[in-house]
Amino acid sequence: MLKFYHAPWSRSSSILWLMEELGVPYEIELVDIRAKEGVPEAYRQIQPSKKVPAIVHDGLVVTERAAITIYLADRFPEAGLAPAFDHPDRAAYLTSLVYSDSVFDPVICANVQNFEYTGNQFPFGTFEDMVANIERRLTAHPFAAGDRFTAADTQLASGIAYTMNFMHALPERPIFKEYLARVEERPANRRAMEKDMELAAQVPFFAEAGAGA
């Protein structure tokens, strides 16, 4: 049994995309992270930080997006979403996965909040360096970890799409648009987007927003 704790249109949406890429049965448990009363106590036992995503697979709890992505892609190798342990692309794959959470996300948050700091003051570096790094990698290879799509792309593409198209916090570089065009047409991504729209209608925050539109 694979249970996925998810909040629509959140960081866990990349895991929803990953689930669809894997092609394995899974159950979604909605978590309303915007509820005034907070997340249910039962979920806090699974994820004490009260964040999404989280999964429970055969009784094992995995939290943190990069860890979940690595775990699932390795656990279901038949999907072909992770380079083998001895494959040369494995290094770039792991680097990209961890980079998305440990550098991309905090840098975007700091930039949006106009948080001023020097490049070596915090471990995630500067906005300019982050943008240049991703642009350099996508110029060298068509995907996050090399020449083929991997689970790392579900994270990187989700981050670029959200921050560039909705937050307008990332410059609209041609290389970013070309990359998104390559990955967003995948059937699994389309299914995930459709599911997120359906699931959002079950969450009061989005349902009320839709009613007031």
Q: What is the dihedral sign for C-alpha 30, 22, 163, 198?
A: negative
Q: Label residue 94 by pLDDT band (50, 70, 90).
A: very high
Residue ranges matching CATH 1.20.1050.10 in the chain: 89-188
> Is the domain defined by 89-188 classed in CATH 3.20.20.70?
no
Q: E strands of 124-166, at which residues? A: none
CATH of domain 2-79: 3.40.30.10
Per-residue model confidence (pLDDT) at position 124:
84
Query: Does pLDDT of 199 surpass 80?
Result: yes
Stretch 63-87: mean pLDDT, rounded? 98
Of the two residues 111 and 115, the one the predictor is more confident about is 111
Which carries the bigger pLDDT value, residue 146 or residue 40?
Answer: 146
Q: Which two tokens stand for residue 156?
A: 């990187």
Q: How far apart are CA 85 and CA 149, in angstroms?
A: 16
Domain ranges in the chain with CATH number 3.40.30.10 = 2-79
For the entire predicted model, the pTM comes to 0.92
